[in-house]
């Protein structure tokens, strides 16, 4: 049997008729950018998250960098972020000229909240919380700090659509919740897409203006903005995804529950879920000192896995200019050398799950 790390086609074929009829509806409408599909998706997604406003954008990275831009964070400012995130989180900060200040992760792969306060300086302007792999971070503790030090709070929810802390959905705790709808995300488009969930109506309006060349009214430009619009086709297809989001979340929970119950091998550390948090299992990430052998062994059995992520941002070539070296963030670096994401996708059959479990148990 061959099991790939991800199977995006399965998620399409399950709702094929709905996706195809929506696609045709948009194609035949004659209206492709900033229309009713985007407007409806924004309303539906805001309602789904429990947030006040949603603004559709072109990608998750755009959501991040435009968020910091509109919050007025730039050169000379510092933003606190976990060291083991996907590099796009960090780019959202540095594209504005601001400096990322890395904090080590906790055993749940999210920011170790107990290590934030020691990094706060007079230049600190914001905390960027990444709900990595689909598990909510400890927002009660983060909120205490942002309130105590009067910091902006931005959430990177590119992997956490639907994950909650203390019953509240990620993306609604701070000033801006940034989402990606890249095809492999838990709510995925059929191309690039992104969006923000925003508490403040004025800030939501700023995003609407910014994404469209800074114009509120056509050809009257208030600010130098960007072209970062979620398009009508993607918005329409995302509305189909949203209709089925709960059953897809439940299916991932069941796959994770089986992995947690049935994978038994001392060479692996299985993921845990922090008290108060829920996980939507964007990735099911195990850790092993023999990670590279495990990956190779699974490859021989035709089981695909992915390393999220092999090079932490502070050691990436792109961020050489920040001046970090190996050893600066030992936990982040340890995780980078040990993590492995097992196959996890909607439409994964029970036979595929069993095949993966048996193979790992025999390693
Ligand atoms: C995918 C991802 C992004 C970037 O989203 P894009 O839509 O690909 O630009 C940002 N942060 C995290 C944590 C991600 O997983």
Residue to probe by mutation, ligand 1, list 68, 110, 156, most atoms within 8 Å of CB: 156
pLDDT of residue 217: 87
- Span from the CA of 359 to the centroid of ligand 1 (angstroms): 31
User: Residue 54: CB within 6 Å of ligand 1?
Assistant: no
> Which atom of ligand 1 sits closest to the CA of residue 64?
10
In angstroms, rounded to a whole number, what is the distance separating the alpha carbons of residues 299 and 187?
28
* Whether the predicted pLDDT of 345 surpasses 90: yes
With a CB cutoff of 8 Å and minimum separation 6, the contacts of 167 are none
Q: What is the DSSP string of 42-105?
A: HHHHHHHHT-SEEEEES-HHHHHHHHHHHTT--TT-EEEEETTS-HHHHHHHHTTT-EEEEE-B
Atom of ligand 1 nearest to the CA of 181: 7
Residue 262 CA to ligand 1 center (angstroms) comes to 31
Confidence at residue 299, expressed as pLDDT on a 0 to 100 scale: 98
Please determine, for residue 301, whether its predicted confidence score (pLDDT) is greater than 90: yes
Q: Average pLDDT of 112-138?
A: 98
Ordered structural domains, the chain, with CATH = 9-103+112-243 (3.40.640.10), 245-361 (3.90.1150.10)
Our answer on whether the CB atom of 59 is closer than 6 Å to any ligand 1 atom is yes
230 lines ligand 1 (CB under 6 A): no
Distance 61 CA to ligand 1 centre (A): 6
List all residues 6 or more positions away from 252 whose beta carbon is below 8 Å from its beta carbon.
186, 280, 281, 344, 346
* Mutation probe of ligand 1 site: the residue of 6, 57, 61 with most atoms within 8 A of C-beta: 61
pLDDT digits (tens, 9 = 90+) for 155-165: 999 999 999 99
Residue 12 pLDDT class (50, 70, 90 cuts): very high
User: How large is the average pLDDT for residues 120-129?
Assistant: 98
pLDDT tens digit string along 80-113? Answer: 999 999 999 999 999 999 999 999 999 999 999 9
**Are 283 and 305 in contact, with CB atoms under 8 Å apart?**
no
User: pLDDT (tens digit, 9 = 90+) per residue, 180-218?
Assistant: 999 999 999 999 999 999 999 999 999 999 999 999 888
For residues 297-321, b (16+ Cβ closer than 10 Å) or e, as one string? ebeebebbbbbbbeebbbbeeebee
Which of 6, 159, 226 to mutate for ligand 1's pocket (most ligand atoms within 8 Å of CB)? 159
Is any ligand 1 atom within 6 A of the Cβ of residue 234?
A: no
Q: Which residue's alpha carbon is at the smallest distance from atom 10 of ligand 1?
A: 88
Question: Residue 257 has what pLDDT?
Answer: 98
Residue 28 CA to ligand 1 center (angstroms) comes to 31
pLDDT bin (cut points 50, 70, 90) of residue 318 is very high
The pLDDT, as a whole number, for residue 180 is 98
- Indicate which atom in ligand 1 lies nearest the CA of residue 59: 7
Atom of ligand 1 nearest to the CA of 192: 7
Residue nearest to atom 6 of ligand 1 (CA): 60
- Please tell me the distance between residue 4's alpha carbon and the centre of ligand 1 in angstroms: 21
**pLDDT over 70 percentage in the chain:** 100
Tokens for 44, please give them: 């539906």
Centroid of ligand 1 to alpha carbon of 220 (angstroms): 31
**The residue count for the chain:** 363
Cβ–ligand 1 contact at 156 (below 6 Å): yes
**pLDDT value, residue 184:** 98
Q: Is 88 in the pocket of ligand 1 (CB under 6 A)?
A: yes
pLDDT of residue 146: 98
Q: Which atom of ligand 1 is nearest to the CA of 62?
A: 9
Each residue's pLDDT tens digit, 265-276: 999 999 999 999
Per residue in 55-80, pLDDT (tens digit) is 999 999 999 999 999 999 999 999 99
pLDDT tens profile 212-267? 999 988 889 999 999 999 999 999 999 999 999 999 999 999 999 999 999 999 99
171: left (phi over 0), alpha (psi -120 to 50) or beta: left
């Amino acid at each position: 049997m061959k099991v790939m790390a991800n199977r995006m086609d399965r998620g399409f074929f399950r709702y094929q008729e709905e996706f195809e009829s929506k696609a045709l509806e948009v194609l035949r409408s004659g209206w492709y950018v900033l229309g009713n599909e985007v407007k409806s998706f924004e309303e539906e997604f805001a309602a789904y998250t429990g947030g006040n406003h949603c603004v559709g954008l072109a990608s998750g990275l755009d959501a991040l960098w435009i968020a910091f831009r509109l919050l007025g964070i730039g050169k000379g400012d510092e933003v606190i972020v976990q060291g083991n995130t996907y590099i796009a989180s960090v780019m959202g900060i540095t594209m504005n000229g601001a400096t990322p200040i890395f904090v080590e992760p906790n055993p749940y792969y999210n920011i170790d909240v107990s290590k934030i306060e020691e990094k706060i300086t007079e230049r600190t302007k914001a905390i960027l919380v990444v709900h990595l792999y689909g598990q909510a971070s400890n927002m009660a503790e983060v909120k205490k700090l942002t309130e105590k030090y009067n910091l902006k709070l931005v959430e990177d929810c590119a992997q956490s659509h639907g994950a909650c802390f203390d019953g509240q959905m990620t993306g609604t705790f701070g000033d801006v919740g940034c989402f990606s709808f890249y095809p492999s995300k838990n709510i995925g488009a059929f191309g690039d897409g992104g969006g923000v969930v925003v508490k403040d109506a004025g800030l939501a309006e700023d995003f609407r203006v910014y994404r469209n060349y800074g114009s509120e009214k056509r050809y009257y430009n208030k600010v130098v903005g960007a072209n970062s619009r979620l398009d009508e086709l993607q918005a329409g297809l995302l509305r189909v995804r949203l209709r089925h989001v709960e059953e897809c979340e439940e299916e991932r929970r069941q796959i994770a529950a089986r992995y947690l119950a049935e994978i038994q091998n001392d060479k692996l550390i299985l993921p845990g879920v922090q008290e108060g948090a829920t996980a939507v299992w964007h990735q099911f990430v195990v850790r092993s000192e023999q990670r590279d052998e495990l990956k190779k062994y699974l490859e021989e059995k035709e089981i695909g896995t992915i390393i999220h992520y092999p090079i932490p941002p502070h050691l990436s070539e792109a961020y050489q200019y920040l001046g970090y070296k190996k050893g600066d963030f030992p936990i982040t670096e340890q995780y980078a050398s040990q993590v492995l994401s097992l196959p996890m996708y909607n439409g994964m059959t029970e036979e595929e799950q069993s095949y993966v479990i048996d193979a790992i148990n025999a390693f």
